[in-house]
Structure 1
């Protein structure tokens, strides 16, 4: 989820903690827990700082090891321990419990996005992306804002958040059923489907789709439950040649390939270099695929430039590739 949603979820957990009589009767403990739940609900995303290094490092590691099972345990210990060092008189057990729940909730809600996480590490490095909740869902965020406002105006926080989270549980079920209906229709249309990537949008009735069959790749959308295919590509294995071998060794391309489950590729030859482009098909927007990896290899088999990330125009992409040192991207 987005940063704002994670933070309001931390506030909500702080309110839920007041259902515990020990917390409700100890204002200092409540304050410590509220700090722990807000920090814990955002902590796994501290890896966003990796973007300061370059996109390749960020793409390979964001929502990776920081969202893994060992990391969840470490976050769950480190956060309350740090808070307890400044507030040693409060109950460490209660502080640890709610801070740990906040970290778990962060990783839990992230697996329902199209981006996903490596939540099952160290057992597998597979990206878990169930793809039926948008990274920013206005209904989820809006209900949290309503809950916070109700709390501010005197509503009982514990019962307020129980009601809201019961509504959200039903909402998650509803979105899951929406996705299942779409997937069923795709299987009816394409019996040889290998994989389906769904990306919900801000609109409840609009989903982006990337479909892999035995022979083709399809980019499409589901609007009001109707499947529309907007692009079709023949599914061709990566060629076994020198340029492609060099391209796959590039850090930007390697990071992209480690993350993207469904992509098309193309090779374009120019006077002085050959360009290899990888295009993620999950995020088509306004006739453009914004998530790409591009590498340019000169005639001496040396990488000239490369880039991976989100780009919303060809002009902007070319400006990125003109940077002399790709590590600065």
Structure 2
């Protein structure tokens, strides 16, 4: 989920914690737990700072090790230890428990969008992405804002957010039913479907689709229960080619390949260099595919420029390649 929703979820969990008798009867513990749930709801996303280095580091590591099983165990201990200096007399077990719940909840809700997480590391680096909730879901965000607003009316914080989370649970079930209906409709329209990736949008009844079949990739849209195929590409695996192999060793290309489950590739030869381009098919926007990796190599197969990330025009991509370090 987005940062704003994660913050509101920290407030929600801190409110639900007031149903814990130990928290309800100790104002200092209640304050400490609220700090713990707010910190715990943000801690796994500390890897966002990698964006300051470069896109490759960010793409390869965001929602990776910081969302892993070891990290989920360590974050609550670290946060509890820090808060304990400010609230030395509080019940450390209950502080740790609610902070742990906040960290687990952060990782849990992240698996429901199309980006996903590597939540099962170190056992596997596979991305878990269920594709039923947008990274920013306006309905979930609005329900949390309503809950925060109700707190100013002196309602019970625990029961308020417990009820809201009951509504959100029903909303998730509705989204799963929508996804199942979409996949059923896709399989009825396209033969030999191997994989269907659904990417929810801001609109409740509109989804982006990236479909892998036996011989083709299809890019489509589901709107109001109907399936629209927008693009079709021949399904071709990366070839055993010296230029491709050299490009795969580039940091930006390697990061893209570690993250993207469905993409098409292009190899272009110019007078004095080669260009390898990989295009993620999940994120079609206004006829454009903005998430790419590009590597330019000289005749000796040395990478002279490369880039990976989101770019919404060919002109901007060229500027980024010119600015990329050699």
The TM-score range, normalised by the shorter chain, is: over 0.9
Distance in 2 (CA, whole Å) between partners of 1:120 and 1:183 is: 26
Q: For 1:130-209, what aligned pairs fall within 5 Å after superposition? A: 130-209=130-209
Q: Which residue of 1 aligns with 2:102?
A: 102
- Report SS of the residue matched to 1:66: helix
Runs of 4+ more than 6 Å apart: none
Cα deviation for residue 214 of structure 1 reads 1.1
Cα deviations by residue, 1:143-178 (Å, 9 ceiling, x for unpaired): 000000101221110110111000000000000110
Q: For 1:39-50, what aligned pairs fall within 5 Å after superposition? A: 39-50=39-50
Q: Which residue of 1 aligns with 2:51?
A: 51
**So what's the TM-score if we normalise by structure 2?**
0.98
Name stretches of at least 5 consecutive residues in structure 2 with no aligned partner.
none
Q: Which residue of 2 aligns with 1:33?
A: 33
Residue 269, structure 1, aligned to residue 269, structure 2: yes
Q: Which residue of 2 aligns with 1:117?
A: 117
Q: Which residue of 1 aligns with 2:210?
A: 210
Cα deviations by residue, 1:61-102 (Å, 9 ceiling, x for unpaired): 000011011110011211111111221101101100100000
Residue 232, structure 1, aligned to residue 232, structure 2: yes
Cα deviations by residue, 1:7-56 (Å, 9 ceiling, x for unpaired): 00000001001111221121111110000000100100000011111111
Corresponding residue pairs, total: 326
- Report SS of the residue matched to 2:222: strand
Distance in 1 (CA, whole Å) between partners of 2:29 and 2:191 is: 57
Cα deviation for residue 324 of structure 1 reads 4.6
Cα deviation for residue 276 of structure 1 reads 0.5
Cα deviations by residue, 1:216-237 (Å, 9 ceiling, x for unpaired): 0011110111111111000012
RMSD over aligned Cα atoms: 0.9
Structure 1 stretch 187-196 or stretch 95-104: which is displaced more?
Answer: 187-196
Q: Which residue of 1 aligns with 2:62?
A: 62
Q: Which residue of 2 aligns with 1:77?
A: 77
- Report SS of the residue matched to 1:143: helix
Cα deviation for residue 187 of structure 1 reads 1.5
Cα deviation for residue 241 of structure 1 reads 1.4
Residue 4, structure 1, aligned to residue 12, structure 2: no
Q: Which residue of 2 aligns with 1:308?
A: 308
Residue 223, structure 1, aligned to residue 223, structure 2: yes
Distance in 1 (CA, whole Å) between partners of 2:322 and 2:87 is: 52
Cα deviation for residue 191 of structure 1 reads 3.2
